[in-house]
Amino acid sequence: MAFILECLDKPGALDTRLANRPAHLAYIEANIAKVMIAGPILTEEGSPIGSLLVLDFDTKAEVEAFAAADPYAQAGLFASTTIRPFRKVFPAA
């Protein structure tokens, strides 16, 4: 089942994001089989303010565990994390 994982950064946490980016990217790469799409949420000016992932897990609990183990989460980067079920319709698989 697909899930959306939306994580919004704490205000003023760009330094935390940048310091933990290499570990975060390595974590995503290590779990790439579960990642349908991933990337930063940006301001209008192009600065990162969060992360958006569409993940393929069987349960919400698995997504919660994945999210909690992310180096960004472990560094305390996020002000909020939202997980929602998702169904891909377009483009057709």
Domains of the chain (ranges; CATH) run: 2-85 (3.30.70.1060)
Cα gap 53→39, rounded to integer Å:
7
CA distance 27 to 62: 15
**Do residues 57 and 1 touch, judged by C-beta distance below 8 A?**
yes
Convert the pLDDT of each residue in 1-45 to its tens digit.
999 999 999 999 999 999 999 999 999 999 999 999 999 999 999
Write the pLDDT tens digit of every residue in 45-75: 999 999 999 999 999 999 999 999 999 999 9
Dist CA 37 CA 70 (whole Å)? 16
The answer to pTM > 0.75 is yes
Q: Are 87 and 1 in contact (CB under 8 A)?
A: no
Name the β-bridge partners of 1. Answer: none
